[in-house]
A and B are shown apart, each in its own frame.
Chain A
Amino acid sequence: MWKSGAERRTLHFHLAGINNQNFIMRDEETGSWWQQVTGCAILGPLTGRCLQAIPWDEVTFAVFKREHPRGLVLLPDAGSKDDYAEADWEKNVADYPTVTPIDPHDTLKPRDLVVGVTSGANATAYPWTTLAAQNPILDSVGGTPVLILLHPDGRSLRCFDRRIGEDTLELFLKTGTDPPVIVDGKTGSEWDFSGLASSGPLAGRRLARVTCLKDFWFDWKTYNPGTRVFMAGLAAPGR
């Protein structure tokens, strides 16, 4: 998800190819080729330029509606609607072949889902199954204390920076809450899924979002070759 302004003009993008199963887009204005996952131009006049990322997340429609009752939803294209993915499309994609090299030391399979977080030059992949079992995950990526949070719907995902001022919070999910309630161990304040403290001493404060990407392991690893893989129960120490 990117701002499409670059070089004082608005670029208009088209699907233009594929690079090891991550798509390439071409802008109408300069004809440059851009890599979807990085937002950076890889060929053409704008090579090396990167689009500015805008915060986004992948949540269920129910969560979106609750948080943005006046929000707008993209309408399906009448001519293409029949070609849209089935409701259970994720199951089918899991069986598609991959083309990038497979490291025999990998504990993850190419199409295992991970949640990827980067901070500076550091990257961490959180296996989806680990997150589902341990939710939420408290960790640190490149010195940034992060919270990886899965909604009780099992699909909506958000990542946050755990720092409020000078403090780094230890956050827990209140069991059996839906919508989820997150509690910080230090002050007992309660936080909602959008990262806003709704009660307690920190009421009104907001956790900063950290961009995280639900991705296939092979794709995450291709674009973050130095990534660490989070192991269950082995969180990096919080500060």
Chain B
Amino acid sequence: MRNPPPGSWLPRLRLSLALLLAAATLGSLAWVATPMVLVRPFGAQTPGGLALSYAMRLRAPRLTVLLFILGLAAAIPLWRRLGSWKGRLLAGFAVTSLAACAFLARSNYFEWIFRPLPRPGFVAAGRAQDVAENDLVLGVQVGAEAHAYPVRAMAYHHVVNDAIAGEPIVATY
């Protein structure tokens, strides 16, 4: 297999499989990276760029899995036809990248940087230990109930889903 006779169909099949794997990998990486780059902190965003990012993120979970399956389908027969470890290393890297893309497409990486607060806990104002008198809070009153959201915590979480007096609210900062 290492030195196929001239005119054999084997190298051509190997090349096709390798190209297919490379195309799937590059396509998946580009699909996942584009919205990451367009919607990055300290970058300028345009309405068109946001719309493109939204459309790509929406389709990314399904597309990246399809590309992963396609890449895997190419990588398995390719693996047997690859003689060199260098080639196998590259193929392995491509499949790992495809899996990573499928994982990223299903993740909210913004919540890796700023972890969410799915079950916010509260303490009576008089017993609060973690807020200084001079710290700023966002104060909200609904009916007879009032909640305070310390700004230092809100500047980290940014979003807290909550309910005050039975009214569902979202506190944002």
- Taking beta carbons and an 8 Å cutoff, which residues of A are in contact with B? 1-5, 10-21, 23-26, 31, 33, 36, 42-44, 51, 54-65, 67-77, 79-81, 83-87, 89, 96-97, 99-100, 153, 155-156
Chain B hits for A12, CB < 8 A = 161
Once bound together, how far apart are the Cα atoms of A100 and B47, in whole Å? 13
Chain B positions near chain A (C-beta within 8 angstroms): 39-45, 47, 50-51, 53-54, 58, 108, 110-111, 114-117, 120-126, 128, 130-142, 145-153, 155-161, 167-172
List 5 A-B pairs, Cβ < 8 Å: A12-B161, A25-B158, A55-B141, A83-B156, A99-B42
Interface of chain B: mostly helix, strand, loop or mixed:
mixed
Q: How far is the CA of A26 from the CA of B40 in the complex (A)?
A: 16
Q: When chains A and B are docked, how far (Å) is the Cα of A21 from the Cα of B137?
A: 21
CB of B7 to closest CB in A, whole Å = 53
Contact in complex: B111, A14 (CB < 8 Å): yes
A81 to B133, CA, bound (A): 18
Please indicate the chain B residues that have their CB under 8 angstroms from the CB of A10 in the complex: 168
Q: B148–A61 contact, CB under 8 A? A: yes
- Cross-chain contact A16 with B148 (CB below 8 angstroms): no
Specify which of A16, A17, A77 is in contact with B157 (CB 8 Å cutoff).
A77
Chain A hits for B47, CB < 8 A: 42
Using A25-B159, A80-B157, A87-B152 as known contacts, say yes or no to A73 and B137 having CB atoms under 8 A apart.
Answer: yes
